[in-house]
Amino acid sequence: MATGGLGDRQVSRVGFGAKRLLRDGYTPDDRARAVRLLRRAVELGVDHIDTAAFYPSVANAAEGPGGFRSLGVANGLIREALAPYDDGLVVATKVGPTQQGLARPDQLRALVEADLRALGREPLDLVYLRQAGLESVAEHFGALAELREAGLVRHLGLSSVRAEHLAQAQEIAPVVAVSNRYAVDFGRVNDELVESCEAQGIAFVPFFSLTGERREAGGVATHDRVSDVARAHRATPAQVRLAWALSRGPHVLVIPGTSSEAHLGENLAAGDLELSPEELRALG
């Protein structure tokens, strides 16, 4: 499988997102299956896992469109499954969201330290600031930059940001990755940011690539042109969606999540699916 840069590492361009490891109401057997799935992912070559203290998450209609409720067990599952960690594995995590809203800058250290304890991994490979509603990320990102200088974090990223946020952060410390919503039919407002990241040598790590406008509800969004291309390749719509995202540039690293070993294998195979120029034009 092709690789892409993530900080000072080269990782497989198809990674694994921990958001959907478990569903609401999970049982001990479900948890054991999630541990086995994580181990299987690494056996199959996954060397980039994306997580957060608030993962997995489930749709929460009470929070409005795109709202979610945290199950908060992903980091513990990753440690149970994979510690002691292989030297080649990159575990990226996000800080910012809390049950009380976006953390203040002075609260970020405690969130990072909680991730260090939960994952049993020091320093953390990559920490994203997942912002919400900020005009400037400078103060929050500056707090994370201090933790990087202190040796708690190796690399910093940004999530759910605009171009001006990236510029603000880059004035403070290097940004190695941006993670925003992005799919063939959703989040295309980020087209220019994807191109900007490539020009700056920054990895772009899309989320909602499979779910599209369904967001936290999960599943694979229905799209007629995606279905047409999938039939032509005898592939799944999910594989076509991932292949489309990867086609946007060698700096794009996808992180599809699943609780199914069968879907895990399908998602990883998407890294070898090549779409023709005609098919890419049809998909837009």
Phi and psi angles of residue 20, each rounded to the nearest 5 degrees, phi first:
-115, 25
Residue 217 pLDDT class (50, 70, 90 cuts):
confident
Domains of the chain listed by start with CATH number: 3-283 (3.20.20.100)
In 3D, which of 281, 212, 264, 214 has the Cα closest to residue 43?
264
Mean pLDDT of 193-205: 98
Q: What percent of the chain has pLDDT over 70?
A: 98
Catalytic residue ranges: 55
The pTM of the full predicted model, rounded to 2 decimals, is 0.96
Segment 39-64, tens digit of pLDDT: 999 999 999 999 999 999 777 755 55
Segment 218-246, tens digit of pLDDT: 889 999 999 999 999 999 999 999 999 99
Residue with tokens 């912002």: 131
Classify 249 in phi/psi space as left (phi over 0), alpha (psi -120 to 50) or beta.
left
Task: Indicate the average pLDDT of the chain.
Answer: 95
Task: Assess whether pLDDT exceeds 70 at residue 139.
Answer: yes
Task: Assess whether pLDDT exceeds 70 at residue 36.
Answer: yes
Task: Assess whether pLDDT exceeds 60 at residue 120.
Answer: yes
Distance CA 92, CA 121 (A): 11
